[in-house]
Structure 1
């Protein structure tokens, strides 16, 4: 009752209720699922916090590294071998959906093993409940992006929004001319859409894609030598770290647009509009 009577409490920040692939945003509303520290920006929206949140989630899943070609990684033979379905982790994925997505999204009620009505779905059909975009949305939301990020259950939505230039909170960069920085989002088309290049964006349609948050740059180590590290969700059914080869200047593609990565033809780098590089009160 005392808290209810206090006049100092703030309301959560207004955020779009929905996002559209052409860059338009739906009406603004309050989302009480977002923690106060994020919606009220107790700290400026900064690269340090976003990368730290992604790394925290990676450690929660056991710090897996997924550097093998995805075509060479066999599908687990048992649901018990899928991290997304394990005790404690399927609920965590539910938080990615619940916090990362607008309340009106049907997917906001999903978890790592259940649909919106709490029904267990078959492990063989988990592709219908892919959560990699939910993970990116969650990290951005908890990091304090608020209106700057177009939260969506599909990567293509925020790729196209960034490429359209209609959202000042996030822009799209050409991998051939821009070297990714910590806190940027590196993206690639999947399957038949793997041929999508930067010059084709924005597309007039949605397409399957995958994105990871850049958590380290300027590395010189195994397996590629010059490389960066990204963290993404739903990689081998977990939050996993992947190393990405670069040239000496940190670019993931040649000036001609050829990806240095034989596994992934990276097509775009998304750059959120951060307020700061680091949290000014970090360590205090």
Structure 2
């Protein structure tokens, strides 16, 4: 079994965060892919309202601005200059703030903001902080945790993080690196018996999408893409 020294507890906060993410997923029509790769065929889960949405359509596009306003810019109109920007980190920020994280989460339009904090907490041994990074082969993901994967940016000036793991992020930060291409999904359900972890993320195929990661018998993620688990230590 993995050894992290962490107590495996799903809190009321974790459950609220998962419920909020699932409600937003339902709003987008409950789309999912049957695997870890978001490029797989999109299906619609039973219980959907039957109207699939994406950011190109009225209503759903405006909802993505809500993620920016509520999640990242609750006290300003800064979201207005971000309308055309990727909104996946704003989605995570929206979920965390709405769930009641208050000042305990580093809200941002960029995943790398809170990923960097989680990695720095791990490097310094500050594992009691509200967010801490672990390699996917050393900690069992729980509902409320975030799972990170690297990606290749369309901007050639940006570093290509596809295939990166925790050690690569740590080395990049130690070398003075700042923002880096990232994506995080929230763990909304785990099934140890079926060896499955279900994730929901924003701005995946232009919508809120559910993906699925397979685990080993101990509950560790076996997927190739999500290489880092961000343990959510936010409690009541």
TM-score where L is the length of structure 1: 0.63
Counterpart in the other structure of 1:213: 186
Shift of 1:106: 7.5
Runs of 4+ in 1 over 3 A off after TM superposition: 67-74, 102-107
- Which residue number in structure 1 is paired with residue 195 of structure 2? 226
1:132 Cα deviation from its structure 2 partner = 0.5
1:83 alignment partner, SS class: coil
- Aligned twin of 2:216: 247
Structure 2: segments with no counterpart, 5+ residues: 1-10, 43-51, 153-159
SS in 2 for 1:240: strand
Q: 1:179 to 1:130 in 2, by over 3 A?
A: same
Q: Which is further off, 162-171 or 243-252? A: 162-171
For the residues of structure 2 that align with 1:158 and 1:47, how far apart are their CA atoms? Answer: 17
In 2, distance between residues paired with 1:236 and 1:214?
Answer: 18
Deviations 1:68-92 (A, max 9, x none): 6445679xxxxxx971122221111
Q: Which residue of 2 aligns with 1:119?
A: none
1:147 aligned onto 2:115: no
Partner SS state of residue 32, structure 2: coil
1:62-101 matches, within 5 Å, as: 62-67=29-34, 69-71=37-39, 83-101=54-72
Shift in alpha-carbon separation, 1:180–1:62, aligned structure 2, 3 A: same
Deviating more after overlay: 187-196 vs 140-149: 187-196
Please tell me whether residue 237 in structure 1 is matched to residue 212 in structure 2: no
User: 1:174, 1:269 within 8 Å by CA — same for their partners in 2?
Assistant: yes
Q: Distance in 2 between matches of 1:189 and 1:101?
A: 22
Unaligned runs of 5+ in 1: 1-43, 75-80, 116-127, 253-259, 277-284
Partner of 1:39: none
Does the 8 Å CA contact 1:147/1:169 hold for their aligned counterparts? no
Distance in 1 between the 2:59 and 2:227 partners?
34
The structure-2 alpha-carbon separation of the partners of 1:98 and 1:163, relative to structure 1 and needing over 3 Å to count, comes to: same
Q: Match of 1:183? A: 144
Higher alpha-carbon deviation: 192-201 or 140-149: 192-201
Counterpart in the other structure of 2:24: 57
**Cα deviations by residue, 1:136-160 (Å, 9 ceiling, x for unpaired):** 0000010011111101111111101
Q: Which residue of 2 aligns with 1:173?
A: 134
User: 1:197 pairs with 148, 165, 185, which one?
Assistant: 165
Specify the alignment match of 1:21 in structure 2.
none
Deviation at 1:182, TM superposition (A): 0.2
- CA deviation profile, 1:160-213 (whole Å, cap 9, x unmatched): 111111782211122111010000000111022113211223322221111100
Instruction: Indicate conservation of the 8 Å contact 1:45/1:143, yes or no.
Output: no
Tell me the TM-score normalized by structure 2. 0.75
TM-aligned CA distance change 1:193 to 1:73, over 3 Å: farther
What SS does the aligned partner of 2:216 have?
coil
